[in-house]
Every structure is written in C-alpha cells, then in structure tokens.
Chain A
Amino acid sequence: MKDALTLDQLTPHDRAEIIAVAWDDLAQGEGKRLRALGIDEGARIAIAHRGVFAGRDPIALMVGRSLVAIRRVHARAMQVKRI
C-alpha cells in the first residue's frame, strides 16, 4: 500500500477514480462534507486546477458537473487509479 497512487500526486487534466479513502486521516466533519460534495469511493474525478504556492495546494477537482476545492491533506488520504 505504501506506493499506492494518491490523489495529491496527480496533475491538472489527469482523470482518476477514487478507489479507497482513509477516512480516519480526515478531521471530524470533513469526511461528511467530502461525501456530500460527491467525493467518495467510486467517484470519478478530474484534476482541474492546482494552487499557486508551496506544494500546489489546494486542488480543484471536477466531480460530475461541479468544481470542488480540497486541500492536499485530503487528497493524500485518497487512493486513486488513473482512468
């Protein structure tokens, strides 16, 4: 699992499916918010933009027809496979 691909390693225009989320790594309430915005196991996402400063944080994802911003820490908790 160590070198599994996580969402934070993707670059703009990459498409991926979220295959696992380490919910325990997220703060309380954050998991709920992510799921409410459609970011969950099985969701197909595309990286739309990344931030400007250190670590290109935050990350903007295209989920369905909506654009959602998350931070790198959240992305790191999500295992993905490219599609």
Chain B
Amino acid sequence: MSQPRRIALLGNPNAGKTALFNALTGARQKIANYPGVTVERKAGRMALPSGEPVELVDLPGAYSLDPASPDEDVTQRVVTGNFPGEAKPDMLVLVIDAGNLEQHLVFAQEVLALGLPTVVALNMVDLAERDGLVLDAKALGEALGVPVIPTVAVRKRGLDALGDALDKANVQDTANRHGVGELTLPERRLAARTMAKGAVISQSAEARLHESLDKVLLNPWAGPIILFGLLFVIFQAVFAWAAPFADALEGLGGLMAQGVAATIPAGFFRDFLTEGVIAGVGSVIVFLPQIVILFAFILVMEASGYMARAAFIMDRLMASVGLSGRSFIPLLSSFACAIPGIMATRAIADPKDRLTTILIAPLMTCSARLPVYAVIIAAVIPEQSVGPGIGLQGLVLFTLYIAGIVGAILVALVLRSTLTAGTASGFIMALPRYQWPRLKDLLIGLWQRAWVFLRRAGTIIFAATVILWLALTFPKAGPGENQLDVSYGGQIASVLHPVFEPVGFNREMTLALVPAMAAREVAVASLATTYAVESEDEDATMAALQAEVAARWSLPTALAFLAWFVFAPQCLSTIAVARRETNGWKWPILMLGYLFALAYITAGITYWAALSLGL
C-alpha cells in the first residue's frame, strides 16, 4: 500500500482529545490551517503495535455532526469524506470523557452511525474515579458494539491497548453496532442515559473537587479578585521576566552583526546583512520571550480548566460591547503585544466574535508604543503635579491608554452593528473539570506557538523589513546630505508630507512614520537619525533627542503625534499575523484602513483643539 492508513481522532470538546493526540504522536506533528477556514489541522505519524505506520489526524472538537460552528463543520465534512483535499479517514478513534458519559455518548452514537471502523477511548477514567465514578468499559463496549478502551491520555495509560484495538479494528463487524440507522436526538439522548447508567459499577456521593474549587473561583466576590490578582502576575511576568531574555536576544543579534562585520568586507552586502537582515528580523524576534511567557500562562489556564472560568467572570462586561468572555484574554494580551493577542483569539469559537476581537486588538496599547510615548512625553509635557501623587506626564500616558480602550469599545460597537453584525454570539459553553496540566502538553503547545511566530518572522516580516531597509538605504546620500532625506523612503515622506501637514506633522515626523511601519519604536530611532543626535550611549541619545524635540516641536504638534500612535497600525508583524489568522487580505486591509483613518482624524482633532486652546 502506498499511502499509510489515516486514523481520525474525534470527540466532544474537553474530552481530552488533544492530550491523547499528543500522547500518541509526541512532538512529531504537522500543523496547518484547513484551506479556506481558520480551523487548525493537526496531523502526526504513529506506528501501531503491528508495526504498521499510520497517519493520525486530530479533528476539531464537536458536539454534533450537524454543524453549529466552523470547527464542527470541518469535522463533519472530513469524516463524511466531503472535505476537498482530505481523504476520508479509514478508522476513527472516538474520545469520550468518562466523567461525562451521558452527554458524550449522544455524539458517540452519531459517529458510530457513520459505519467506519471505530475504537472508543474512554478517556480521563482517573478523574472520574477521583470523583467517585467507577465504570465498566466492557459493558459499555457491548452496548455500543465497538471496542471501548479505558485511557488516561495525560498519564499515557491505556495507549497500548488502544493500539491493539486499532490493529484489530480493520475487520470490524458493524452489524451489532448500536445506533446505526436514523435516530432522533431525543432517542439518542435516552439511549445515552441508559448506556451511561448501565456502565456504572459504583458511584459515590458527589464530593467533587471541582465543585469546591468553583465555590471559591466563581464566588461573586473572591472570583474576580483572584482573576485580577492572576492577571497582575501575568502582566508582571510578561514585562519583567521577559526583559532579560529580550536583552539577551538583542545582545545575540549585536554579536551576530559584529561577527558578520568582522568576516565580510565593508559594502552593500555587509550592510544588508547587519542593518537589514539581522537588525530587521531581530526587532521582531525580541518579542519572542514575551510571547512564550504569555502563552505559558494561557496554556496552563486552558489546560487546567481555569480559562473557561475567567471567561465566565468577564462575560457580562464583554457582552456590553457585543463580545463574550472569551475575548477578554486575547485583548488583555494585546497590551503586551497584539501578535500573541491575535494568536490567542483561536480560543474564541464564534467566528464573528473572533474577527471583531482581531480587528480591535491593535487598539490596546502595546509595549512597543511605550518608547515613542516616553520620549515625546518627556520632551514636551512639563514635569509638574496636577494633584496629590498625580504627575501630569503620568496622566498623559494614562490618557493615551484610555484613549485606546475607548477607541476599541467604540469600534467594537460599530463593527458589531455593521461588518460583523449578527446576533450576539451568546455565551454557551461547557466549563470543564479542573485538572493538572501536563508539562509535556504545555511544552508542545508552547513550541507550536513559538514556531508559528518564528516562521512568520522568517518569511513575511523578513521580506518586509528588507524592503524597508532597501528603501531607506538607496539612493546613497552624497557628502553633507542626510541619508534618510535622500532615500526612497525620504522621497515617500516628501510626498506624504502635504497629507500630514494639516494635522500638524512636520517633515521629520512624516519621515519617521515610514520606517516605523516595521515597528512603532523605530520612529524614535529614525527621529534620532534625522536630528543627528545619535551616539553610542542610548541614554545620551534619548536625552539629546528629547532636547531636540522640546526645542523644535510645538505642543499641539507633539500631542498630535502621540494621538497618531494611539491608533496607527504601524506594525507589519501585526498585519501579517492578522492575515494568517483571518486567512486572507480582506480583513487586514480593512484593519489598516480604519486604523489609519482613526489615527489621522484623531491627530487632526488633537492638533486643532490644542491650537484653538492656545497651547
């Protein structure tokens, strides 16, 4: 046989499907999107005990084969052989949660009715036992008419037996299978109840751990306090813990640049490598530590079952702008960086909710805006107190953050009644039982997120930064000329300047906007270049730049510049990630358009308001 046989893993969400997939395939997984939809396709190889290699596909979680979400639609089409480019699976592993038989057996009957050779993994039997529920897998197998193997995916228990059952499943007799033929949902539910009852050996009083945990974590008073405490820790970690790693990466980039400088003769190629490639890609890779740390927290929250509780607590607040509790964490993450924030929107089941969240994520004030804010505020806002313990500079910074949030709320409301209109997604979801996350699953998840990001940095972001570098390097400046001025980038700025003059931008500012397309903080570096205040010492450069800005910019101009950066989508990586996550250019281009429009209008209003106030 030429192609290895394909086994699809399917089951209800929270059945422990992904853990089982990880346990069976290890880290040898290929992740991609199903064509045309933003649903992740995970595939991996494994060998059955007979030695036969097979391909394992982890299908998206589904409650039913009558699709109500993009995930379910993919699952339904793949198992029925109706997904273009996806061969119909040869065998199925149906994962059901031992602690939730009554519900999961409803879907199980639908799957068995497909008639494909199927082995049932009765997963998380340990958690069920912890909750006082002992089950008879054999009795369940007889009721369903297919082999039922008790497993504990996270402890690798039952995997050999599962493999053996798959080896034998080729020649499965479907005649005595339960549920073949058309059954209605109430009939299936009734059968599920009967089968679930029949499989119970013993069931003790419900002294369940998760109930007592929920009493605290979902307590109307303690719940939000615990959540905000946790968020505080996450924020601290993302900013503080990531700093040494980011510095190390920056240092590494510097060393590489030095190494290149030492081995390659001066000239175009050396500059291309050091200033274009290493500096350009390096400016994106420094975000990797933040992304990894943030995702470590997110993955632990997901795997432990706490994420659903966080969504539960925040749902009401998010509902007031037409979103659901699921959007809270991605938006919060975007305060660190919109890239992991947008990547985290995968947890949002509703496609319109998800799209809205992606579109407003760049409005959260990310850490890359801070250098710009810091320099301009320090230069033009006097260091004075406006109240006990409230400095004017801090107040301005705070206002910029609030402006972003208010902008996001307004944009979400507008989007929800126009482009992403539709009934509020409704917040219907199962709150999974708590469990300890497994280190291995965590590491696999982290590696996948990091890899997605690095591949981005290596391709589209790399290309964009190189093009930008070329535009800023050519043509070469003659003696006494400013390189930035002469370059194609500078020429673009000259063309753009008349556009930006009405909102108070001077030519240097417009010039700074061009390289800042790569990343906002580059604006600071390019202003320093333009004002020729660069020196070896970064702090000295900043101090000199502040002095220049203070001397040359009027207050309305500086305020307009700050307002611009609250909204302007000056981050190629964010646009690239939005393209990946929305599977096309339509939404990223819309995002670019509306953010630039907002930035321009706000900068203009700020400028003219400040002027008329006589500032």
Q: Is the CB of A58 within 8 A of B316?
A: yes
- With beta carbons under 8 angstroms apart, the residue of B189, B218, B422, B424 that contacts A49 is B218
A64 lies within 8 A of B100 (CB): yes
Contact present for A68 and B319 (CB under 8 Å)? no
Given contacts A27-B423, A33-B428, A69-B312, contact A63 B317 (CB under 8 A): no
Interchain nearest-CB distance for A63 vs B (Å): 7
On whether A69 and B313 interact (CB within 8 A), knowing A29-B68, A32-B64, A57-B319, the answer reads: no
Bound-state CA distance A35–B66 (Å) is 11
Determine whether the beta carbon of A70 is less than 8 Å from that of B427. Answer: yes
Question: Chain A residues with Cβ under 8 A from B189's Cβ?
Answer: 38, 40
Q: Is B107 an interface residue (CB 8 A)?
A: yes
Say if the beta carbon of A52 comes within 8 Å of chain B: yes
A27 to B425, CA, bound (A): 8
Instruction: Please tell me if B362 contacts chain A, counting CB pairs below 8 Å.
Output: no
Partner of A57, one of B133, B308, B315, B423: B315
Chain A residues, Cβ within 8 Å of B218: 49, 60
* B402-453, CB < 8 A from A: 422-424, 426-431, 433
Q: Is A48 an interface residue (CB 8 A)?
A: yes
Instruction: Assess whether A32 is in contact with B66, with CB atoms less than 8 Å apart.
Output: yes
A37 to B102: give the CA distance in the assembly, Å. 10
Interface 1/0s, chain A 31-71, versus B by CB < 8 A? Answer: 01111111010100000111111111110100111111111
Closest Cβ of chain B: how far from A44's Cβ, in Å? Answer: 11
Contact A63 B103 (CB under 8 A): yes
Query: A52 contacts B428, CB within 8 Å?
Result: no
Inter-chain contacts of A26 with B (CB < 8 A)? 426
Q: How many A-B residue pairs have CB under 8 A?
A: 116
Within the complex, which residue of B64, B224, B428 is in contact with A74, where a contact is CB–CB below 8 Å? B428
Flag if B316 contacts A67 (CB, 8 Å). no
Interface of A is mostly: mixed
Q: How far is it, in angstroms, between the C-alpha of A35 and the C-alpha of B100 when the chains are bound?
A: 15
Report A-chain residues with C-beta under 8 Å of the C-beta of B428: 30, 33-34, 37, 68-71, 74
Bound together, the chains give a CA A35 to CA B220 distance in angstroms of 28
Pair A66/B426 contact, Cβ less than 8 Å: no
Select A68's contact among B223, B317, B423, B431, beta carbons within 8 Å.
B431
Smallest Cβ distance from A75 to chain B, in angstroms? Answer: 11
Enumerate B176-229 residues with CB–CB distance to A below 8 Å: 185-186, 189, 210-211, 214, 218, 220-221, 223-224
Chain B interface residue count, Cβ-Cβ cutoff 8 angstroms: 44
Contact yes or no, A35 B426, CB < 8 A? no
Q: A27-B423, A63-B103 are in contact. Are A37 and B316 (CB under 8 A)?
A: no
Complex Cα distance, B428 from A32, in Å, reads 11
Task: Judge whether B68 and A37 touch: CB under 8 Å.
Answer: no
Across the interface, A27 reaches (CB within 8 A) one of B185, B313, B325, B426, namely B426
Q: How many residues of A contact B (CB 8 A)?
A: 37
Contacts of B224 in A (CB 8 A): 52
CB-CB under 8 A from B430, the residues of chain A are 37, 66-69
Residue among A28, A55, A70, A71 with the most chain B CB within 10 A?
A71
Chain A residue with minimal CB distance to B102?
Answer: A64
Complex Cα spacing A16 to B44, Å: 45
B315 adjacent to A67 (CB under 8 Å):
no
Query: How many Å lie between the Cα of A52 and that of B318 in the bound state?
Result: 13
Q: Is A58 in contact with B423, judged by CB distance below 8 angstroms? A: no
CB distance from A35 to the nearest CB of B (A): 6
* Per-position binary interface string of chain B over residues 92-130, scored 1 when its CB falls under 8 Å from any chain A CB and 0 otherwise: 000000011111001100000000000000000000000
User: Does A73 sit within 8 A of B, measured CB to CB?
Assistant: yes
Please report the C-alpha to C-alpha distance between residue A70 and residue B68 in the assembled complex, in whole angstroms: 16
Residue of A nearest to B227 (CB): A52
Q: Mark B52-81, 1 if CB is under 8 A from A, else 0.
A: 000000000001101011000000000000
* A58 and B312 form a contact (CB under 8 A): yes
Quick one: given A53-B316, A57-B315, A66-B430, are A48 and B214 in contact (CB under 8 Å)? yes
Chain B contacts with A in 220-240, Cβ cutoff 8 A:
220-221, 223-224
Contact A49 to B214, CB < 8 A, known contacts A29-B69, A36-B63, A37-B63: yes
| Given A36-B107, A71-B315; 10 other pairs, CB 8 A cutoff | A36-B63, A36-B106, A37-B428, A53-B316, A57-B316, A64-B102, A65-B99, A66-B431, A69-B431, A70-B428
Closest 10 CB pairs of A and B: A36-B63, A27-B423, A53-B316, A67-B431, A29-B68, A32-B68, A49-B218, A64-B102, A52-B220, A36-B64
